[in-house]
Amino acid sequence: MGREHRIDLKLLRYFIAVAEELHFGRAAVRLNMSQPPLSIHIKELEQQLGTLLFVRHSRSVALTHAGKVLMEESRRLIESTNQALARVEKIGRGESGRIELGVVGTAMWGRMRPMMHRFLKENPNVDVIFREKSPGLQMALLERRELDAGIWRMATALPERFSAQRLYEASFLVAMPEDHALAACDRVPLDALRNEYFVTLPSVHSDWAFLQIVCQKAGFTPMIVREVVEPQTVLAMISMGMGITLMADSYAQMNWPGVVFRPLEERIAADLYLVYEHQQVTPVLSKLIATFMQEGC
């Protein structure tokens, strides 16, 4: 392993000026400094590298082979440094960056979609990474600072250092086959579902852990006969008469053949929240929060 060099970038900038001008006097004028300090700095650089960079004549200088190599490498290094610092400045201004965003599967439907579409369109240099996780897993990742923010339907208490911003109001609806007896109801009592078969998403990736608690508080445990990964599959099974389910009202905005949605007599809130640690808000996350607040209600 070679030794570690600790050379000030300022010395390389001085070197580049002399290498391009091939004249200490002109280089000093270009750098807005006097010639003697410039000569001292170049000698300092040569001493640190242990090699001559210039062949000095009485009226001019010429680059040695080592000097020619250093000029090429220094230009690349300075350009790379400038690009890196420019990227950091953009991140500091919120013009670029990365957001690790946790979501529950149902969050990407309904009004969440136009919110994100607007943000991504207005911030093309921001990379948003979506990580589909349950609320509990999102909270664990947030506490380890492996997520910048999480999105779920609030059903858990938050540690003091975290904030929750409601994105918009929503409700859970009953989804059932169009020929189901309860389809004739304008509003469905939750208790009327106690003897129904349910088709659901896995609770680890959805709202079902919360919904099971809601049903249990109403005096029954839902009879889950099918558990599938995709919400489209849930609705396809319901259209075939295999059961019913509870889903956020965003799904009712689309046409699902053979499926009808009905509100519950007592509203079950499905409000969507953005959760984040207020001391860890980055400039790009601040922009995302601002976009959501403009679009939300």
Q: Are 38 and 27 in contact (CB under 8 A)?
A: yes
Residues 6+ apart with CB under 8 A from 99: 126, 127, 128, 129, 148, 149, 282, 284, 285, 288
Q: Note the pLDDT tens digit of each residue in 199-240.
A: 998 876 567 888 888 999 999 999 999 998 888 899 999 999
Cβ-based neighbours of 10, under 8 Å, separated by 6 or more: 41
In order of their start, the domains of the chain are 7-91 (1.10.10.10), 95-167+270-293 (3.40.190.10), 170-261 (3.40.190.10)
Residue 297: what pLDDT? 46
Q: Hey, how many other C-beta atoms are within 10 angstroms of the C-beta on 150?
A: 26
Is the predicted pLDDT of residue 89 greater than 80, yes or no?
A: no
- Check if the beta carbon of residue 68 is closer than 8 Å to that of residue 55: no
- The mean pLDDT value for 76-86 works out to 81
Per-residue pLDDT tens for 162-190?
Answer: 989 898 888 999 999 999 999 999 999 99
Instruction: Give backbone dihedrals phi and psi of 60, rounded to 5 degrees, phi first.
Output: -155, 175
Contact criterion met (CB below 8 Å) for 246 and 213 = no
CA–CA gap between residue 178 and residue 239 (Å, rounded): 7
Tell me, what's the pLDDT at 221? 94
SS3 145: coil
Give dist(CA 297, CA 285) in Å, integer.
Answer: 19
Q: How confident is the model at residue 68 (pLDDT cuts 50, 70, 90)?
A: very high
Mean pLDDT, to the nearest integer, of 271-297?
A: 85
